[in-house]
Structure 1
Amino acid sequence: MGETADDGTCGQWQRVPEEIALRLGDVPGAAYEVPDEVTCALEAGHPGSHTAVLQGLGDDEIWLTWTVPKTAVATSCRADGLTCLLPTGHPGRHHVIMAEEIEDTGPYWAADRAELEALLAQN
């Protein structure tokens, strides 16, 4: 799959997680066979998550929703002289390895160098 549809729908595809397919495949009174892959049924260019029907039960349907995977080029975060494993500008704490050691240690979650040093002093 991986291609978009030409009928005005979004058409972005997603593999259905196996645990979801197994759970919905044996539901009594189910309307459909749960597919291995689905395509987004929303209009092309829609905002937010993608949506595809997985199963029908009476007057209700069960939908799979997912967000768009994307790639981005960003420099690595080196705030406060830390070796952070995340990109510059990331939210939350840094995910830090200690590369000054003979062998890398970590990773550790720390807001800044002071918190990291306090954490290391406890170990």
Structure 2
Amino acid sequence: MGETVDDGACGEWQRVPEEIAQRLGDVPGAAYEVPDEVTCALEHGHQGDHTAVLQGWGDDEVWLLWTVPKTVVAPSCRADGLTCLLPNGHAGRHHVLLADVVEDDGPYWVTDRAELEARLTRG
């Protein structure tokens, strides 16, 4: 048995969004019938976006690029004693609420407790 074109390919599956399939299905001179779903054509273990061809005409082709959704388990961010709604170690500002205030107007985007307290005193 020889090697097939799919041997060693990533093969990650993705449904083609209907609006994209419809838009590419009526292209004059189109080379392909747009599939409902595709698999990644890049080599297994590649970095970055997955890639699959959707349509072609002339010397051009349209590719679908996507990343793999994933879940991670991480503790909630409680930096500086704040009740942050993001995971521990997140980038950027904290998205905090006041857990001990029943009718809080938050959540608020702040860099630290001092900014939150200053914001609250300004009212």
The TM-score with structure 1 as length reference comes to 0.82
Report % sequence identity: 79
5 Å matches for 1:1-123?
7-123=7-123
What root-mean-square deviation, in Å, do the aligned CA atoms of Structure 1 and Structure 2 show? 1.9
| Distance in 1 separating the partners of 2:32 and 2:45 | 27
CA contact (8 A) 1:84 1:96 kept: yes
User: Corresponding residue for 2:3?
Assistant: none
- 1:21 and 1:109, CA in 2 relative to 1: closer, same or farther beyond 3 A? farther
Cα shift at 1:21: 2.2
CA contact (8 A) 1:99 1:105 kept: no
- 1:15 and 1:103, CA in 2 relative to 1: closer, same or farther beyond 3 A? farther
CA contact (8 A) 1:83 1:99 kept: yes
The 3-state SS of whatever aligns with 1:77 is coil
Cα shift at 1:67: 1.6
- 1:15 and 1:107, CA in 2 relative to 1: closer, same or farther beyond 3 A? farther
- 1:50 and 1:101, CA in 2 relative to 1: closer, same or farther beyond 3 A? same
| Distance in 1 separating the partners of 2:119 and 2:37 | 45
| Consecutive unaligned residues in structure 2, runs of 5 or more | 1-5
| Distance in 2 separating the partners of 1:115 and 1:23 | 48
Deviations 1:58-104 (A, max 9, x none): 11111111122222111110011111111111111111122221145
Segment drifting more, 111-120 vs 55-64: 111-120
Count of aligned positions:
118
| Consecutive unaligned residues in structure 1, runs of 5 or more | 1-5
Segment drifting more, 27-36 vs 57-66: 27-36
The TM-score with structure 2 as length reference comes to 0.82
